[in-house]
Structure 1
Amino acid sequence: MAHPAPSEGDASTPADAELHPKPARVRDWARLTALTLAIVVVLELLGLPASILLGAMVAAIIIALRFGQIAMPRLPYMAAQALIGCMIAHALSLSVMLEVADDWPIFVFGVVSVLAASLFLGWSLARMKTLPGTTAIWGSSPGAAQVMTLMSEEFGADIRLVAFMQYTRVIIVAGLAAVVARIWADLGDASTGASTWFALPDPAGLAGTLGLVAATIIVHRIVRLPSISFMFPMVAGAALLEAGWLTLELPPLLLAAAYVAIGWTIGLRFDATVLRHAARATPRILIAIVILVGLCGALSAILVVMTGIDPLTAYLAMSPGGADTIAIITASAPANINVPFVMAMQMARFLAIMLTGPFTAQLVSRWMNR
């Protein structure tokens, strides 16, 4: 039976206490930073896109399992999400949105097909009693991991298993997408020289970008929605860019810091307690994730036939990962990827999941009870 959602900072029950990580010490951050640097260097030598994000994820998982889960501060994570929202806003212009409106049948196919595949897998896991109640439905949702995890507890699901399924899927999808992008793309132009890394940004554009990030944090504290720190800068930034009132400046070092913050936040959510809790269900959960990724790959092939779009763009657009991680991988891959198409598809599915998630979980729960 799920415990009532605790108030912020409350760890009154044993189960709730285990969900609260310990405060991080300087030594913890030093270990995490050093291991992240080492893994990122290896991944860079292998030529993987999004090596900073993946390296931070892997390093955080290792540290959490070896030394215990530590607390990632909320503010850097919100700022990182806001920066990724700004990066997406840079790609989503009004002309792109008009193109989406013209090609709405394609986006309907992409969104509905992936949602149907994930719903079927979640229903199958529930029927096999791999997971209790509606946990399988919430955990199988192909995106909006943070939102689905937080909402699931309100509807009686086991938040630990939902979090395990969601963030395991994010890591697997991110890793596979990076590998596919590495194999498919011509990485001759992938390197970022020192002159690019340390190039001086436009002061006005950087000030406007940081101002939007600050405004996002303020809005998040007022609205208190899990997705607002990602959605607000994306929508507001695209509108301000279209109106000519804002120039977004995203220096590589600033984006790299955002990638690390997101990677650490995801990786630090894995600890020994969660893994023990999910131990018996893990093989079936992993099989379900692999099947979902395979189905989305098959759907991307159908999308290529339907639209003539290049296969890598179709694969990234249909990948059931988090929109922020796919955005990072898409931006890091040097191939001629249709970035607006990928992000428009990802965001359309993100919105559909948030709107239909509770209704779908309740509907399947009623079916299961019958």
Structure 2
Amino acid sequence: MSLPRTVSLSALPVVLQWVLLVILAGAAGQGLRHADVPAGQFLGPMLVAIAFGASGATIRVPKLLFKLGQGCVGALIAHSISLAVLLSLAQTWQMMLLATLLTVSLSALVGLGLVRFAGLSASTAAWGTAPGAASAIVGMAEEQGADARVVATMQYVRVVCVVVVGAMVSRLLGVEGGASEVQAAPFAFDLSSIFNLLASLAVIASGALLGARLPAGALLLPLFLGGLLQVTGLVQIHLPATLLAVAYGVIGCYVGLRFDRPTLRYVWGRLPAMVLGALLLILLCAASAWVIAHWLGMDFLSVYLATSPGGLDAMAIIAVDTQSDVGLVLAMQTLRLLGVVLTGAFFARLIMRLSVPRPAVD
């Protein structure tokens, strides 16, 4: 099966590619935002960047900008952290642990299905379906001998599916995207506001500089540091709406531009199976979220976003934008991220062992 021909952007000057990307991504993000699409400022740029990547664009978002964008999301989540939120999470740790184990197990089951029915190698399918931080998973997969190109594609295909489905679920439930409380707060040019803004920017920078060695460290370090400063009353996290819009766009473009034409051509024949596997995993996680929400009397959308096998930053953006239980989403996504990093090699070996045909017994 050959990849359809598309208009190539590689012949355009790099500066022109950047100008077109910024204009179109910004327009798409603002358009979806004004259409009240949840996480529209993230989803719009990501879809535009996917089209650019598949059309031969040679530009890539620098890793430092991506880390700073993650840091903005981490600081935004830190704004929602309070002692009441922490106490509420401490009372539901058993449920969070159970949901995390269930999501990881379901991903292993889907990976085994891709090995049996889609012809993927066991190690590639195992790492490709692992519901963790995509960049960390790709690095670990490469160290274990899996095909990093296919693993990366599977990871980002799932991220795209999760974001699109998450926005659709939010809209179907009647939840409209809108500015969060921290976005809507006007900025007052007084000494206190300026101090809070500078402190918030310093928290974001700390993630890009110090969080490189941790999975999603650029997001988690500002989150924990900003949350600590906010809970203790030392700083009130404040981020201008324009800065958040740029951060969402940077993250969306970073993910979207990873879908370059050579990678898509390499996996084109298996792409339908990857999309089907991602949608199946999303459906299974949604079913488990419905059971958990019904069992504990919780908000389904919050539990769905918390158990959804997407990126931590993407789910956090949707949670904040839809005014879901950000603390729950954050805690469960972070717990699952750590669980995947710690158990990824074990589940990869398990899938490889289960996928080996047993010798016939006479």
Band of TM-score, shorter chain: 0.7 to 0.9
How many aligned positions are there? 344
Partner of residue 178 from structure 2, selected from 190, 193, 216: 190
Q: Determine the C-alpha separation between the residues in 2 that align with 1:356 and 1:204.
A: 42
> Normalised by the size of structure 1, how large is the TM-score?
0.86
Unaligned runs of 5+ in 2: 1-9
Q: Deviations over 1:276-322 (max 9, x none)?
A: 11112111111111111111111111012211012221221221111
Seen in structure 2, the aligned counterparts of structure 1 residues 250 and 268 have a Cα distance that, compared at 3 Å, is same
Q: How far apart are residue 200 of structure 1 and its match? A: 4.5
Q: How far apart are residue 94 of structure 1 and its match? A: 4.1
Q: Deviations over 1:154-202 (max 9, x none)?
A: 1111111111111111111101111211222353x8369xx95974572
Q: Following superposition of structure 1 onto structure 2, how do residues 269-288 of structure 1 map, counting pairs within 5 Å?
A: 269-288=258-277
Partner residue in 1 for 2:112: 123
Q: How far apart are residue 101 of structure 1 and its match? A: 2.6
Letter of the 1:142 counterpart? P
Q: Is the 8 A contact 1:117 1:295 kept in 2?
A: yes
Q: Is the 8 A contact 1:144 1:322 kept in 2?
A: yes
Q: Deviations over 1:258-284 (max 9, x none)?
A: 101100100000011111111121111
Q: Determine the C-alpha separation between the residues in 2 that align with 1:199 and 1:237.
A: 19
Asked if 1:70 is matched to 2:84, the reply is no
Partner residue in 2 for 1:3: none
Q: Secondary structure at the match of 1:134?
A: helix
Q: Determine the C-alpha separation between the residues in 2 that align with 1:295 and 1:140.
A: 13
Q: Determine the C-alpha separation between the residues in 1 that align with 2:34 and 2:245.
A: 17
Q: Determine the C-alpha separation between the residues in 1 that align with 2:178 and 2:17.
A: 32
Asked if 1:178 is matched to 2:167, the reply is yes
Partner residue in 2 for 1:254: 243
Partner residue in 2 for 1:298: 287
Q: Determine the C-alpha separation between the residues in 2 that align with 1:361 and 1:101.
A: 31
Partner of residue 26 from structure 2, selected from 27, 31, 37: 37
Q: Is the 8 A contact 1:138 1:162 kept in 2?
A: yes
Q: Is the 8 A contact 1:69 1:269 kept in 2?
A: no
Asked if 1:365 is matched to 2:356, the reply is no
Q: Is the 8 A contact 1:138 1:357 kept in 2?
A: yes
Partner residue in 2 for 1:324: 313
Seen in structure 2, the aligned counterparts of structure 1 residues 23 and 94 have a Cα distance that, compared at 3 Å, is farther
Seen in structure 2, the aligned counterparts of structure 1 residues 97 and 359 have a Cα distance that, compared at 3 Å, is farther
Partner residue in 1 for 2:229: 240
Report the more deviating stretch, 351-360 or 122-131. Answer: 122-131
Unaligned runs of 5+ in 1: 1-20
Partner of residue 345 from structure 1, selected from 332, 341, 353: 332
Q: Is the 8 A contact 2:128 2:154 kept in 1?
A: yes
Q: Determine the C-alpha separation between the residues in 1 that align with 2:127 and 2:63.
A: 23
Partner residue in 2 for 1:224: 213
> Normalised by the size of structure 2, how large is the TM-score?
0.88
Seen in structure 2, the aligned counterparts of structure 1 residues 340 and 287 have a Cα distance that, compared at 3 Å, is same
Q: Is the 8 A contact 1:23 1:71 kept in 2?
A: no
Letter of the 2:194 counterpart? P
> RMSD of the alignment, in Å?
2.5
Q: Determine the C-alpha separation between the residues in 2 that align with 1:232 and 1:41.
A: 29
Letter of the 1:342 counterpart? V
Partner residue in 1 for 2:199: 208
Identical positions, percent: 34
Letter of the 1:338 counterpart? D
Q: How far apart are residue 45 of structure 1 and its match? A: 4.4
Q: How far apart are residue 122 of structure 1 and its match? A: 0.6
Partner residue in 2 for 1:355: 342
Seen in structure 2, the aligned counterparts of structure 1 residues 241 and 199 have a Cα distance that, compared at 3 Å, is closer
Q: Is the 8 A contact 2:70 2:219 kept in 1?
A: yes
Letter of the 1:210 counterpart? L
Partner residue in 1 for 2:150: 161
Q: Is the 8 A contact 1:130 1:284 kept in 2?
A: no
